[in-house]
Structure 1
């Protein structure tokens, strides 16, 4: 895979986040019990390898630093640590955000991790780990006039840059915006389009947008100062039937939370911020948004 420059690898998570914020539990209640399906877990144990899908272009979750061909980032290091505690090796598969869930469903990969938001709709088809990240949603707008957006309702008739299948694009459409879709492109493409008026905004995770603007300063844009909305929880995705694998990963995550590993990794990649705990900001819930 081609190495990514620091300034070209930051892509706004349109995920998933990866919404309709999840309840913080596994997508399958049996994953916490003793009578769990162990076929996937047995397969992984036999190979000694956990196959992980991620985009590799999402700073600070999953990216290639300048001059390096080793994948890193908060998500990448979280899953590496989980695998280490489960005595497994990790094999990363680089897949665009819109293809990650399909890859889990087809068993091309064992798990997906890429700032993917836990939603009720997604939990019908997949299992999610306990959250390893908590956040909320914000939007990048032009500095001069906030792109004509004072409230979320002002999104009607505006153009929002985003991924085709992400929660953030669903939010934009919910308020009447037209979504201009992108594939697995770097963040500077999104930001440039807002700055030059090709789009009006990019809706995404607050922490990711904050880091993006810190890294790319050549455009006259900023995070909207007044709009904080849609609280989110991000989790690791596995196949709906991989109950024992999920149970094992949740146990490892709990250990990492208790011994401070999650907080340490978060602060390393998010500029000293601890995204492993819920933010204290006042965040607007969006009514009538079916995710």
Structure 2
């Protein structure tokens, strides 16, 4: 009886300590709503969605796991891409996601997480064409999304006629209708949409260029989360969880559920732009290639 009571007391003490630990973490940050992690997301799959009270999609599922481990409840804030970064800056939301690529410019206005996967930009187009170079875009009508980091680079391509859209869906609809010739969008979102709709007769080809004059269009892309700069301590806690997920290759396990299974998404091939910018000069990008 005494032994049983002692065990119960120890168990209760451990549970209380665990609860207090999570509670103290949840209250340690300057959040839009205390005890909750308010997340701005676009709802573009396979990156993000909301189902049965949880974030889903590749970006979303990882964020949900991070929130769970920090003892924070997700408060969803669905919005168009053009509003996500401004919402983070103003403090209306705590973090934004939506296959956002790392750029040096964004480090000036937000604090950015470790990468959750990598990508190469490319061209969504009719299966009758095989454009995979910047020169292929010259003189073409091209659609992309308002606020994407590479918009200034697209504007500098000779005779390119650029149309900006608030959503990927709107851009793709115009492509299918023949009002534009191609779409430059989020590679995971575009690839997922094409896979789900084979009747579109579209395909996606990554840029084969590697031009220093067009680093955002042709360089190595890193998908990250963006947080308000006052919450850099929260970003560091998130980064520690992300680092553990890379070590166990959990990133790739989650990716496989959303069509991101090849090494290109999880093995950084190309210049590491972050070293010496928002990371130490000797910073190495995380990796999880075949075999772990």
Q: Normalising by structure 2, what TM-score?
A: 0.72
Unaligned runs of 5+ in 1: 1-37, 286-291
Task: Using the TM superposition, give the Cα deviation of residue 101 of structure 1 relative to its aligned residue in structure 2, in angstroms.
Answer: 0.4
What is the rounded CA distance, in whole Å, between the counterparts of 2:207 and 2:146 in structure 1? Answer: 26
1:49 corresponding residue in structure 2: 36
Task: Kindly indicate which of the two structures has a greater share of residues assigned to helix.
Answer: 2
- Counterpart check, 1:169 vs 2:123: no
Report if the CA contact (8 A) 1:63-1:73 is conserved. Answer: yes
Quote the Cα distance in structure 2 between the aligned partners of 1:181 and 1:195: 16
2:188 to 186, 192, 207: 207
The superposition leaves residues 155-214 of structure 1 with CA deviations (integer Å, 9 ceiling, x where unpaired) of: 23321111121124333213142221222352xx43342244311111133333222211
Moved more, 111-120 or 175-184: 175-184
1:180 equivalent to 2:163? Answer yes
Structure 2 counterpart of 1:12: none
Instruction: Decide which structure has the larger Cα Rg and report it.
Output: 2
Q: Distance in 2 between matches of 1:252 and 1:121?
A: 25
What is the deviation of 1:61?
0.5
**Number of equivalent positions:** 239
For residue 117 of structure 1, the aligned residue among 98, 101, 109 is 101
TM-score between the two structures when normalised by the length of structure 1: 0.72
Given candidates 48, 56, 65, the residue that maps to 1:62 is 48
On the 8 A contact 1:163/1:183 being kept in 2, the answer is yes
Matched with 1:244 is 233
Post-superposition, which runs of at least 4 consecutive aligned residues in structure 1 deviate over 6 A? none
* Alignment match of 2:142 (pick from 141, 147, 160): 160
Give the superposed CA RMSD: 3.0
**3-state secondary structure, aligned to 2:171:** helix
SS of structure 1 residue aligned to 2:255? helix
CA–CA separation in structure 1 for the residues paired with 2:167 and 2:47: 14
Of the structure 1 ranges 42-51 and 151-160, higher mean CA displacement relative to structure 2 is found in 42-51
